[in-house]
Amino acid sequence: MQIWNFTDGQLIIRQDDITALKFDAIVNAANSRLAGGGGVDGAIHRRAGYVELQGACQEIIRTIGSLPPGEAIITPGFNLPSAHIIHTVGPIWRGGTNNEPRLLENAYSNCLRLAHEHAIQTIAFPAISCGVYGYPVKDAARIALLTIQKGLEAELVNEVTMVLHGDTAYTTWIDVANDIL
């Protein structure tokens, strides 16, 4: 685990299973239908309780139709240690010229904005789009870390934790953070 202190908050990078840890909110790397899936989405559904979480997600989908990439919504955490889940949809990597960087930045910044609106102080992110959606990890880390830094400086939340799954992902994010923060 490594910690960066900013004037108005803290960034923590650690290697763990995001569903096992307790924060005010954890972020889910969802799909536009909020339909559940593999990766961290699957793990969150299993730990939160599939039926309860899908019930809440599909009620939102009935209202909004679908959740576009870069947008975010919030549900309870149900059986998770964390009280809330903020669901966002990262971009699918299609070579980098299809607005992927902007959509990834929006995903992080909209989660932080929504957290602020709900008085959430501590929030944890997985590496959005870095699994099934294929975003190159170093590029994603750079965008994520700079967006999180901005959010902390704007005092949207007090503490942001990036929770990485696996040694390689963790080392990459730490290297990028040491380069740019």
Can you say whether the dihedral through the CA atoms of 58, 68, 45, 123 is positive or negative?
negative
Amino acid at 117: E
Of the pair 127, 177, the CB lying nearest ligand AR6 is at 127
Distances (CA, A) of 149 to 29, 33, 44, 143, 157: 20, 29, 25, 10, 11
Tell me if 30 contacts ligand AR6 by CB under 6 A: yes
Of the pair 130, 177, the CB lying nearest ligand AR6 is at 130
What span, in angstroms and rounded, lies between the C-alpha atoms of 147 and 103? 12
- From candidates 9, 23, 24, 41, binder to ligand AR6 by CB under 6 A: 41
> Which among 65, 64, 125, 128 has a CA at the least distance from the CA of 91?
128
Of the pair 6, 101, the CB lying nearest ligand AR6 is at 101
* The one catalytic residue among 17, 41, 139, 179: 41
Which of positions 69-108 make contact with ligand AR6 (CB under 6 A)? 90
Positions touching ligand AR6 (CB under 6 A) are: 17-19, 29-31, 37-41, 43, 90, 126-133, 163, 165-166, 169
